[in-house]
Amino acid sequence: MEPRRDPRGALVRPYAVTRGRTEPSRDIALEAVLTSSPTQVAESRFAGHDKHRIATVCEGRAQSLAEIAAYTRMPLGVARVLVADLVADGLLTLHTAAPAEGFEERMEILGRVLSGLRRL
């Protein structure tokens, strides 16, 4: 008869993964696009298992922070802290959705486009 296994399995508490940190070193939006190159993925092996998984998920395909959390099955807060670390270390490339300057002009243009589409 096989011995009874612990139902918690290999559960690791989120604070252990982030070393007790709950806030990322930089604010990254949920929809921010992240990518990694083969070189960045290779270098991420030395950053730890979880960070390497994140870099691997972003290799060859742009992913949002929310998608990274879902694909790696990490809580969003944990993914946010680790992704911020990877960006700071140069192991992930962050592509922001819109630059801070010129945002209002872009919103005005998008509003006019939306109005034009509604009239069609």
What's the pLDDT score for residue 32? 82
Return the CA Rg of the chain.
19
Pure H helices in the chain: 14-17, 38-44, 49-57, 65-72, 76-88, 103-119
Q: Where are the beta strands (DSSP E) in 2-105?
A: 33-35, 63-64, 93-95
Query: Contact, 103 vs 67, CB < 8 A?
Result: no
From CA 32, how far away is CA 29, in angstroms rounded? 5
What does each of the 120 residues of the chain score in pLDDT, given as a tens digit?
555 555 555 555 555 555 556 566 677 877 788 888 888 888 888 888 888 888 898 888 888 888 888 888 888 888 888 889 888 888 888 887 555 566 677 778 778 878 877 876
